[in-house]
Structure 1
């Protein structure tokens, strides 16, 4: 068991180092590795967190004496990080044993990267790309979606509801599965199982399976409840995005978050909306071709991405 964890830690370091390369493109392979085992995401998060902590250290003061020309150079912080982690792996040291996963944890995903986090109570959070989720070991029935998108699968407890905060809103779960999107001062919630309460202390909007809302910050009236297709809630997890009259700019944002695709909308096409279903194909050109055909636009390559024109 310890050997398997050491192998996973080594793989996590390898992914982190490879992703520093501006030309890195194996996001599908990275996502596959994350989903191979429930522990991979937590191990990668701990390694990335340690790397960020090392970057945040103040630079070493300049030496006050002249260095001997042939003296060995002090390794960089990056090199020290690699060496320290390698030593930990050789010694089969557990990351969780070092306390790196304890207390509050901020999980940030890259565009096109998906992670799954299992909480102490058995609840699960599936996090889409370009998202930020905060969890706290001291509050096991709480999570905060700072930005992006996440699907929550919550274990029901009668006297201990699960709370999700995002923006200024609070979503209280009564034992269910639901998807939350936080973008540009707007929150979207869609429920596929059970019941949630949106802002119970203020709006007190009750959402059952097959219902959803779109709420903007600062609105003086409660958000309007709408129908959603249960089968499509959290469809991004399987590469399916379904829309009904959604602005193309929002579709482009979703493609970037879910698949790491860079899609620009030309000024003359910004007023167009999209209805239909998009499948995130391994051949991204095919996905863009479907979007263009269904939205009445023309797609052309632009740099590392595409541009849609009327």
Structure 2
């Protein structure tokens, strides 16, 4: 409880201000635009016990809200339309604050590799980086990558998002890890490849587990899906998926494999869950799927990255989905 003010009244204004600041911090951290400086500023802000408690509570509410909206229990369209922000928060708060501490303490720890990465992009941001030795990296929106380049070799780790990497004919082999997998280029030979990672399904994803798609656009790469696993060599136009839903080597359309480099999103019979993951990287806020049936629906189409709301509207109409907006950023589809 807050200390009383000089007139022996509770410091309601301070409590309200601290709660608002805590909520703003959680929104910032989950927006995809947070910086290393933000993480350091948050750590300083949380050094105050009252502010730390407010942050833990806000983070717990945020996580539980996602569970409440995207849970397996079906909700009617009327129920969703009737769920105002206040009702949603009451429903979430009814679960108690016990899990808030765990959720909040994990929030910054799990995102620290992303916030601390050498190369990062925010929501809707695409960036090209030229490294020594002629290596060229294109980072998709909401991407985080670490890189170490020296005479002994070139090592990279993808923590989030997607990258397209072009390696020249000269120089040492390049290794890039994503989740449990890694790929290696052939020394002295040019190559171009794409790696995309995403949170694993279930508990593994909540604790930082990643799955990945690795594709070769030109030249050749060798992919090791996990430590001790048999390596697989990919040549131009081949891809492999790493994770529980792993697929063997399969062909891809090289022209469409990284259409985001040309300002486009191209989907061909893609599960809506994956489509939403992509749209969330370019649209401020979050799109949430409130039913497993909706998540499994398939999408085919070409959309412009600069117009994510138009893409959302087209997909919703084509699949006859209902939509509820909570504020101007959170969209629930069912």
Shift of the 23–215 alpha-carbon distance from structure 1 to 2, 3 Å rule, reads closer
The answer as to 2:243 corresponding to 1:216 is yes
Corresponding position of 2:166: 153
Distance in structure 2 (CA, Å) of the matches to 1:269 and 1:285:
22
Structure 1: stretches of 5+ with no match in the other structure: 1-19, 31-44, 61-103
Say which structure is richer in helix: 2
Distance in structure 1 (CA, Å) of the matches to 2:293 and 2:131:
43
* Residue pairs, 1:158-173, within 5 angstroms: 160-173=172-185
After superposing on structure 2, the runs of 4+ consecutive aligned residues of structure 1 that deviate more than 4 Å are: 20-24, 48-60
1:211–1:228 CA contact under 8 A, matched in 2: yes
Across the aligned residues of Structure 1 and Structure 2, the Cα RMSD in angstroms comes to: 3.7
Distance in structure 1 (CA, Å) of the matches to 2:143 and 2:330:
20
Corresponding position of 1:236: 260
Per-residue CA deviations over 1:248-277 (Å, capped at 9, x if unaligned) read 122111111244462221216434332312
Distance in structure 1 (CA, Å) of the matches to 2:302 and 2:324:
18
Aligned length: 224
Per-residue deviation at 1:197?
A: 1.0
The answer as to 2:222 corresponding to 1:204 is no
Shift of the 228–302 alpha-carbon distance from structure 1 to 2, 3 Å rule, reads farther
The answer as to 2:217 corresponding to 1:192 is yes
Distance in structure 2 (CA, Å) of the matches to 1:289 and 1:59:
39
Per-residue deviation at 1:226?
A: 1.2
Distance in structure 2 (CA, Å) of the matches to 1:58 and 1:251:
36
Shift of the 196–292 alpha-carbon distance from structure 1 to 2, 3 Å rule, reads same
What secondary structure is seen at the aligned counterpart in 1 of 2:229? coil
- Larger relative contact order (Cα-Cα within 8 Å, sequence gap ≥ 6): 2
Structure 2: stretches of 5+ with no match in the other structure: 1-23, 48-115, 201-209
Shift of the 206–223 alpha-carbon distance from structure 1 to 2, 3 Å rule, reads farther
The answer as to 2:183 corresponding to 1:177 is no
Corresponding position of 2:331: 306
2:128–2:137 CA contact under 8 A, matched in 1: yes
TM-score for the superposition, normalised by structure 1 = 0.60
Per-residue deviation at 1:308?
A: 2.3
